[in-house]
Structure 1
Amino acid sequence: MTRSITRIVQHRIAQHPDTEVTFEAECLGCKWKATPSTDSAAVDVDCMSHTGRSNHRGFRRICTSFAAVVRDE
């Protein structure tokens, strides 16, 4: 008969320490895309500038982050 020991280890998920959140946006009226940036305000300004040139007012905003699961000690 084989015996086994079960050990419960708590984990948590957190943003990967070597990365930053990246913000992106794309126009819903054409194929225009904002330059990805770690500064959300810069992407918002790009969207407003695009609206001024094209009168397109709808955008899909994307925030990308990378996560790591680590032991909760």
Structure 2
Amino acid sequence: MARSILRYVPHRITRHPDTDINFEAECLKCDWTATPSIDDAAVDIECMRHTGATRHEGFRRICTSFALVERVE
């Protein structure tokens, strides 16, 4: 019977330091999408303008970030 030695190494996950969080939004009633931006307020303003023009009130908001997993020393 073969024996195995298991070694557990602690890790942590953080936002990648060379990237920004990107914000996006999509209307739930039509094919409209906001211009992606690193400024969440800019995307929110686009959604409010779309609501004013179309009376569409529902949006899917997407926040994308990139992660980095590192060993904890």
TM-score of the two chains, using structure 2 as the length reference: 0.88
Structure 2 unaligned blocks of 5 or more: none
Partner residue, 1:56: 56
User: How far 1:6 moved relative to its partner?
Assistant: 5.1
Structure 1 unaligned blocks of 5 or more: none
In 2, the alpha carbon distance for the partners of 1:17 and 1:48 equals 31
| 1:17-54 deviation line (CA, Å, top 9, x unaligned) | 11111000000010000000011110000000000011
User: How many correspondences in the alignment?
Assistant: 72
Structure 1: 4+ residue segments shifted above 6 A: none
Q: Which amino acid aligns with 2:38?
A: T
In 2, the alpha carbon distance for the partners of 1:17 and 1:8 equals 26
Alignment root-mean-square deviation, CA? 1.7
TM-score of the two chains, using structure 1 as the length reference: 0.88
User: How far 1:72 moved relative to its partner?
Assistant: 1.2
Partner residue, 2:68: 68
What is the percent sequence identity of the aligned residues? Answer: 68
